[in-house]
Amino acid sequence: MKVTRVMHASSNVVGSLEDTVRFYSSVFGMEPTERPDVPGVRGSWFQAADAQIHLVDAPMQGSGIDPTGPHFCLGIADLNEAIAELEAKNIEYVRATQGPKEIVQIWVVDPAGNTIELQQDPDYKP
């Protein structure tokens, strides 16, 4: 699987979204950017060069593959190939879609317990 870039980092801020948005705005001078509708999940996104910071205001699952918990997202050159590779290696994953364009998201957990999101990199040019 070819990783093209880090697309975003996500932090769980359950119950403190407004205070955390104010922190990022006042300390780092960042302003929230457009965020797709994620049913049942409040949040705010910030742009940082070609990556984003996602603040997620939703309860964490606490174990296993946790899409609402802290994670980082890797851009992938060919997400379908990556999924086939995960399946061939019997690596468990969670699949979801978001937004009006139905962006496919895949989450896995590394051996240390870190959740990693994988997405097709829309800017990747082979």
- Using one digit for the tens of pLDDT, what is the confidence trace for 38-93? 888 999 999 998 999 999 998 888 778 999 889 999 999 999 999 999 999 999 99
Regarding beta strands 32-33 and 42-48, do their DSSP bridges make them parallel or antiparallel, or are they unpaired? Answer: antiparallel
Distance CA 73, CA 6 (A): 6
Gap between the terminal Cα atoms of the chain: 13
- Residue 64 has which token pair? 């296993």
Q: Residue 63 belongs to a domain with what CATH number?
A: 3.10.180.10
91 in a structural domain: yes
Distance CA 12, CA 20 (A): 10
Binning pLDDT at 50, 70 and 90, where does residue 102 land? confident
98 in a structural domain: yes
Give the CA-trace dihedral at 83, 71, 94, 17, to 10 degrees.
Answer: -140
Full residue range of the structural domain in which residue 63 is found: 3-120
- Residue 31 has which token pair? 């302003």
pLDDT given at position 56: 92
Q: For residue 31, is pLDDT > 80? A: yes
12: β partners: 56
Single pTM value for the model: 0.85
Number of folded domains in the chain? 1
**Comparing C-alpha atoms, which of 121, 87, 124, 115 is closest to residue 103?**
121
Residue pair 115/65 in contact (Cβ under 8 Å)? The answer is yes
88 in a structural domain: yes
125 in a structural domain: no
